[in-house]
């Protein structure tokens, strides 16, 4: 999978940045700045929801795919949204949790060879 910003997205970010500066001017801000707009990185989330019901989710709480026995997803795809801020630390925590769960499943013999 690759990601590339659409030119319209970049135009929109420039427009929003300009409006934000106008608001700061109107509010009497003494200092303001704007970062130059260029290609930006994103955290693609929510494509493989976690849950107990295979009808409404892709993976179970052990991070295991409902329909592919030995497939475990340990990334941001199980997050419905990032809530606030960058999701990197949450993704790392879920990956550590998944490793513990996978290890426990393997010790019980619940991972097919």
Q: Which domain holds residue 4?
A: 1-41
Catalytic residue among 35, 43, 63, 66: 43
Q: Which residues partner with 76 through β-bridges?
A: none
pLDDT of residue 80: 77
| Residue 58 dihedral angles phi and psi, to the nearest 5° | -100, -40
List all residues 6 or more positions away from 56 whose beta carbon is below 8 Å from its beta carbon.
49
| 43 catalytic per annotation | yes
**Which tens digit of pLDDT belongs to each residue from 63-88?**
999 999 899 998 889 887 776 667 88
Q: Say whether both 30 and 76 belong to one domain.
A: no
Q: Which residue did the predictor score with more confidence, 53 or 9?
A: 53
Q: Say whether both 29 and 75 belong to one domain.
A: no
Q: Say whether both 24 and 50 belong to one domain.
A: no
Number of compact structural domains in the chain: 2
**Which tens digit of pLDDT belongs to each residue from 39-56?**
766 677 888 999 999 999
Q: Say whether both 53 and 94 belong to one domain.
A: yes
Q: By the 8 A CB rule, do 72 and 64 touch? A: yes
């Amino acid at each position: 999978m690759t990601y590339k910003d659409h030119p319209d997205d970049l135009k929109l970010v420039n427009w929003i940045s300009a409006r934000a500066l106008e608001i700061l001017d109107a509010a009497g801000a003494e200092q303001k700045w704007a970062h130059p707009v260029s290609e930006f990185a994103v955290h693609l989330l929510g494509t493989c929801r976690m849950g107990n019901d295979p009808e409404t989710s892709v993976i179970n709480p052990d991070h295991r795919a409902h329909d592919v026995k030995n497939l475990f997803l340990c990334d941001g795809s199980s997050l419905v949204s990032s809530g606030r801020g960058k999701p990197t630390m949450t993704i790392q925590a879920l990956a550590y949790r998944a490793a513990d769960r996978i290890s426990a499943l393997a010790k019980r013999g619940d991972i097919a060879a």
